[in-house]
Amino acid sequence: MKVLVCGGSGYIGSHTIVELLAKGHEVVVVDNHVNSSPQSLKHVARIVGVDIEAIHCDIRDPSALDAVFSRHNFDAVIHFASLKSHTESWRQPLLYYENNVTGTISLLQAMFRAKVSRLIFSSSAAVYGSSDVTPIPESAALCPSSPYGRTKLVVENMIQELGATHLDFQATVLRYFNPVGAHPSGLIGEDPIGAPSNLMPYLCQVAAGRFPFLPIYGDDYPTHDGTAVRDYIHVVDLARAHARALEYMRECDETFVVNVGTGCGYSVLDVVAAFESVSGCQIPLSYMPRRAGDIAKSVASPISARQRLRWEAEYDLHKMCEDAWRWQSTYPHGYRMN
């Protein structure tokens, strides 16, 4: 298929492009680089051996999107282009609604004008909020605990409504749990602009000497060691779930939602211990109060992904840490210093 990848210069997008090209799909990327470097796709090109067509474009710009759609006949769109920090979304909720919700409306309108009817949307476990069920099935109550999570839920609802009312529209909503790790080549990985808001990139940047210590937000959660538990998934496994979802769209024309996780939960301290053993680095820790909207435990039920998409995660926490550290130690300053 020919696929428009929105936000394809970012962390998950760049890894997904590698997997899509490996399956013989064609890709075109649009990205405004608000949280990524155009260099990432040059690194992707070194892995896959072909250049990637990339257009600097904001998905909130209808005429720029129309120009892209008029030049290509896309079979599908994969939509990664959103802002993703829970913490920042509390500080700038309007920015988050504007970028994530208005941006998606603009993209969907452009798809409709161009008669492109297949969409894969990056949603998040954040839509569940503090679920009291573990592992969390897709049918669990949706109660996001941050403005970021609420933007994802608004978009999910919009997509479900389009699926129900427009027979030719078909969407797969992937609710990612906690993507970490990097491509095993060490050529691409997570390279956030500014201080990372997620555990693994922060951990890597402490080990690389960019930060003096790892802040741990909350040590009094009701978990085995008091720190928050998450379902970490290797980004290459997640990327492969997109390639599988794209193939599945040929077999099934329903709009549906599926969790993408491993079904295993690890605490912050479990991840720190795994990372220290893989990297040989000692990570200084500093305990801080809980952050607004953070929850104790979030672990996916991966059953639906296994049954529907015939996909499941292959890589364990050790491999996630090993690949994340290979990327960070090869490129301590990310894409900016090479």
Residues that bind ligand NAD (CB under 6 A): 7, 9-13, 31-36, 58-60, 80-84, 99, 103, 122, 124, 176, 178-179, 198
CB of 252 to ligand NAD, least distance (A): 23
Nearest to 42 by CA among 337, 331, 335: 335
Residue nearest to ligand NAD (CB): 10
Nearer to ligand NAD, 134 or 198 (CB): 198
CB of 7 to ligand NAD, least distance (A): 3
- Alpha carbon distance, N-terminus to C-terminus of the chain: 33
Nearer to ligand NAD, 190 or 322 (CB): 190
CB of 282 to ligand NAD, least distance (A): 26
Nearer to ligand NAD, 70 or 212 (CB): 70
Nearer to ligand NAD, 179 or 293 (CB): 179
**Distance in angstroms (rounded) separating the CA atoms of residues 160 and 47:** 36
- What the block records as the tokens of 217 is 């937000």
97 is annotated as an active-site residue? no
Nearer to ligand NAD, 125 or 162 (CB): 125
CB of 167 to ligand NAD, least distance (A): 27
Nearest to 178 by CA among 124, 140, 257, 214: 124
**Which uninterrupted H or E stretch holds 332?**
none
- Return the amino acid letter for 77: V
Helical spans, DSSP H, in the chain: 11-22, 39-48, 62-71, 86-91, 93-96, 103-114, 147-165, 199-207, 235-251, 268-279, 303-304, 317-330
**Distance in angstroms (rounded) separating the CA atoms of residues 121 and 170:** 11
CB of 64 to ligand NAD, least distance (A): 9
- What the block records as the tokens of 245 is 């979802």
**Distance in angstroms (rounded) separating the CA atoms of residues 202 and 207:** 9
**Residue of 97, 128, 148, 335 with catalytic role:** 148
Active site residues: 148
